[in-house]
Every structure is written in structure tokens, then in C-alpha cells.
Amino acid sequence: MPLGLGRRKKASPLVENEEAEPIRAGLNVPGLDGLDGGRVSLGEGAAHEGLPPPPTSLRPRLIFHTQLAHGSPTGRIEGFSNVRELYAKIGEAFGILPTEVMFCTLNTHKVDMDKLLGGQIGLEDFIFAHVKGQRKEVEVFKGEDALGLTITDNGAGYAFIKRIREGSIIHQIQVINVGDMIESINGQILIGCRHYEVAKMLKELPKGKTFVLKLVEPMKAFDMISQRSGSRSGSAQLGTGKGTLRLRSKGPATVEELPSAFEEKAIEKVDDLLESYMGIRDSELAATMVELGKDKKNPDEFAEALDENLGDFAFPDEFVFDVWGAIGDAKSDTKQKMLRLIEFARRLLQGPCLVSL
């Protein structure tokens, strides 16, 4: 089936060897239900188009506790709608500039990439802010095509190292660690660059040449041990509630229900495709793609929705077609599972041990 007729084509910004994993500006917060069936708009442009946003007094007041990861008193923050506003609130709470915040982790002060804030945040989760620490300059000889890095960004202008592959060039340089922010490459400042731009620069560095990295490591507490490589296991599900607060880089925050069984399966399938095609794993990006595709009637409509909402990624047609198929497979699998459960329940009710009361 032809896909994406008339789609605006771009050169893909993602690269093959140096992986890039974006932290989405949208966050999810489980733990808030019972509000209009689990879906509440916190600003304009949400559930009912054309209607004004609800008064501030009627919006849920969500308060989170936070500390600086290297040690500080506990602060209380509220009233943020995206990552940049979150960092600004943290800055206000501790009297620091928002630009000092590199990234945040949930429920641990350690540099644990599996607990990186950017997926889901429970209403009772504790936010630890990692701020800039020691700067360091490292010369690296690129003896192989791939350096062994996975790059992510914080959604607010900083790209940093999420994983270091064991046995790689970077793994052999003990001074480079997971969590280090990449400030510049060969003198070119990278503040404000996205993860894929930094990964592309690293890939395009000539093999057999030495280059200079300027890095900033997060400030550490005395009991923190540098993490040389990140786990490849799936992110832990945080929070136990039935709702999520989704923060968006554009538009209002919304309180939504947790993903359905179909959505969870579809997100998992799409995330696998992202890794297969582009070398990244990003459940938030996968969730956005599932949300865009679940109500579309054909792959061309889905391709147009992706171009409109995620055009910067310039997904190839074959990838879009496979994602469309994965979403359809998830629907079919979920439907078949429900039918089997219904049949099992029917047989159970017809069994000889049934007692009517």
C-alpha cells in the first residue's frame, strides 16, 4: 500500500551508530483518578475545543517534594506545565539558576538512568534534581566508527550520556561517566542542541583522529558511585494510581487515565520498532505515536498525523507502515485475549460446580 503520498520529506536527523534517546517534555504522573473519569484539562485546547480553560481554583493542585541530589533540605514545588517550568520551580525552591539543573531522577539521588524523570512520575514520587558539578576536558582517539555512547537530552537544552556500551572506546576512558553533560565537541558549544544533533556530530567525527570533549558531571554526594553503563531493562512503572499528569512542551498539561491494555501492548511493540529502526528506546515517543494512530482509518492518515505532530523525526515510510501494522496487531491481540476471557468465564459459569444463591 502506498504510504504518505505528498509527505514533506526531510533528511533523517537520527544516526545509525551513535544512539540517541530523547527525554520527552511530556511527563506522566500516576495517582490521580476520579476527576471527570480520569481526564481533566488543565488549560486551553484540551478535551472540548472552543471552550475556555477551567478557572485556576478548579484545577487540581499537585504538590511534589524535591531535593538536590547531592544533599539539601526538602523543597515543595507546584504549578509547572513542562520541563523548563519544572526546572524553574526547582531553582526557586533552592535559590539556584534553573540552568544549573542538568536532569532529575525519581526516588533516588543516584545517577540511575532507569529512574530518569521523563516517563512517569507518581503523585508520591520524590524528585531529585542533579545540578552541575565538576567540568572536565577529555581527549578521545576515535579508533572505531562507533564510540559506544547513547545520548539523551533533558528537554531543556542539555544533552548528556545515558549509556556507555561495555568494551567500547568510551568505556575504556574511566573519567567519562553516565550522566555527564556534553558541553562541547572540539570547541563547538552544544548547549541548546537536541540529542540527535549531538549524536550526528559524534558519528561524523573522522575515524583515526583525536577530538576533544568538554563535559560537566553532576554534583555527587559522598555515597554516590559513578555509573559506567546504563541498564537496558525497561523502565520501572512508577506510582500506583489510575491517572497521569502529562506535561507537554507545547500546550496545556492534562490529567489522563493510565494506558489501556491495548495501548500498553501497542506502546511496547512501537518501542521495539524504534530500537530496531533507529537505535533508540523511548516509551513516551512510542505512546505519542500510538495515540496519533489508534483512531486513524488507514496508514496514509497516520502518516499525515506523524508529519504534522512529529515532523522533525522524518520517519521513513517503511517504518511508518510497520508502526501502523504494530498498532493493528495490538488491537487484534487485545481483542482475541478479551474473547478468550469471555469464553473462559462462560464455560466457568456453565460448569457442574456452579451453585446458584
Name the residue type at position 306.
L
Q: Which long-range contacts (CB under 8 A, 24 or more apart) does 86-92 make?
A: 86/247, 87/129, 87/156, 90/66, 90/127, 90/129
Q: Which long-range contacts (CB under 8 A, 24 or more apart) does 12-16 make?
A: 12/313, 12/314, 12/316, 13/194, 13/196, 13/197, 13/200, 13/312, 13/313, 13/314, 14/196, 14/199, 14/200, 14/278, 14/279, 14/280, 14/313, 15/196, 15/199, 15/200, 15/203, 15/279, 16/203, 16/279
* Phi and psi torsions of 125, nearest 5°: -70, 150
Q: Choose from 213-217, 261-265, 303-307, 325-329 the range with maximum mean pLDDT.
A: 213-217
**pTM metric for this prediction:** 0.65
Q: Where are the beta strands (DSSP E) in 208-268?
A: 210-218, 243-246, 254-257
The residue count of the chain comes to: 357
Domains (range + CATH), the chain = 63-218 (2.30.42.10), 259-349 (no CATH)
DSSP 58: G
Question: What is the model's pLDDT at position 171?
Answer: 94
Instruction: Give 73's pLDDT tier (boundaries 50, 70, 90).
Output: very high
Count CA within 13 A, CB hemisphere, residue 159: 27
d(CA 312, CA 70): 36
Task: Tell me the pairing of strands 127-141 and 63-68.
Answer: parallel
Question: What is the model's pLDDT at position 260?
Answer: 78
Question: What is the model's pLDDT at position 139?
Answer: 96
Instruction: Tell me the average pLDDT across 200-229.
Output: 82
DSSP 37: G
Range with the poorest average pLDDT among 55-64, 76-85, 191-200: 55-64
Buried/exposed code over 278-310 (b: 16+ C-beta within 10 A; e: otherwise): bbbbbbbbbbbbbbbbbebeebbebbbbbbeee
